[in-house]
Amino acid sequence: MRVFVTGATGFVGSAVVKELLDAGHTVLGMARSDAGMEAVRAAGAEAYRGDLTDLESLRAGARNADAVIHTAFIHDFSKFAENCAIDGRAIEALREALAGTGKMLLVTSGTGAVSGRPGALRMENDPPVPSEMMPRVSEKMAEAFASKGVKVVVMRLPQVHNTEKAGLVTYTIALAREKGVSPYVGDGNARWAAVHRADAARLYRLALEKGRAAKYHAVAEEGVTAKEIAEAIGAGLKVPVKSIAPEEAPAHFGWLAMFAGLDMPASSEWTRKELGWTPAGPGLIEDLKKMKYE
């Protein structure tokens, strides 16, 4: 299958490209720069110049493929709502190119953007958080495409990690390094779901090959506590670990405060059964212990 991958040089997208190529698919990988184009070629894929704000480049790439995997996102969380709006326009452009073809459009969302009962695991059939609370619009856009002749699949990601990066945890590490302390909010029992990057990439491929129009959870660990994460970071940076009150969180975490004390565990039981996916990579804490903090 010929697959158009947006964000082909990104942390998740580059792993997806490798997974697809290793499985015998061909990849048209989108990149924004000359360096990115070279990285896509070096990975063994066909390089394609495009950008999330260049909607015609997205349409043309989608028309030139059998399926689209959309992993690109502008990860500047200080402009989260603005970047979510850009993502929404990009997804609409991809949908326009695929309308009536029956081809798959696989969009990316997050388990943290899913509604759920307090203290309960977020499930695949749980709806997304209302957009005014969480402006990530990929799932809302996907639901609107159900009758447009496009097979829309939603991949919900938790904290995707290896020994170099770890989703939102990467930003907490930078703050702990800058401020000389690794805090957690309250009792530290807020949980974040997690998955190793290689396992997430494999699930994208399985969804492409076997998936139906549905929502899948790329979750290997249902919930790692904030205290465990803070302690691993503290040990790595050799800085003190402490609890801070919820009202202190904005001063330390800035934009990250909206997530820092949020309990967002998630299940992947249905996803595993549906796609035959068994995560095999190391856990989040194991990777945090192996990170280079200097």
Strands 67-70, 2-6: pairing is parallel
Residues 245-269 have pLDDT tens digits of 999 999 999 989 988 999 999 999 9
- Work out the angle at residue 91's Cα, subtended by the Cα atoms of residues 155 and 256, and round it to the nearest 5 degrees: 60
Domain 162-193+222-264+281-290 top-level CATH class: alpha beta
Residue 135 has pLDDT above 60, yes or no: no
Structure tokens at 69: 């995997």
Q: Is the pLDDT of residue 43 over 90?
A: yes
Continuous H helices in 99-180: 138-144, 169-179
Q: Are 226 and 83 in contact (CB under 8 A)?
A: no
Give 79-103 pLDDT, tens digit per residue.
778 888 899 999 999 999 999 899 9
Q: What is the pLDDT of residue 146?
A: 66
pLDDT at 155: 97
What's the length of the chain?
294
- 164-178 per-position pLDDT tens digit: 999 999 999 999 999
User: What topology does CATH give the domain 2-160+194-219?
Assistant: Rossmann fold (3.40.50)
* pLDDT at residue 25 in the model: 98
Residues forming a β-bridge with 128? 114
CB atoms within 10 A of CB 79: 12
Residue 222 has φ and ψ, to the nearest 5°, of: -65, -35
Tell me, what's the pLDDT at 76? 78
Where are the domains positioned within the chain? Answer: 2-160+194-219, 162-193+222-264+281-290
Per DSSP, what are the bridge partners of residue 122? 266
pLDDT at residue 134 in the model: 58
**Predicted local distance difference test score (pLDDT) of residue 138:** 76
The more confidently predicted of residues 114 and 180 is 180
**Cα–Cα distance measured from residue 270 to residue 188, given in angstroms and rounded to the nearest whole number:** 28
Which pLDDT does position 107 carry in this prediction?
94
User: Is residue 234 classed as helix, strand or coil in its secondary structure?
Assistant: helix
- Mind listing the pLDDT tens digit for each residue in 204-232? 999 999 989 999 999 999 999 999 999 99
pLDDT-derived band at 48 (thresholds 50, 70, 90) equals very high
* Range from 60-64, 91-95, 99-103, 147-151 carrying the lowest mean pLDDT: 147-151
Q: Provide the pLDDT confidence category of residue 117 given band limits of 50, 70 and 90.
A: confident
Domains 2-160+194-219 and 162-193+222-264+281-290 in one fold: no
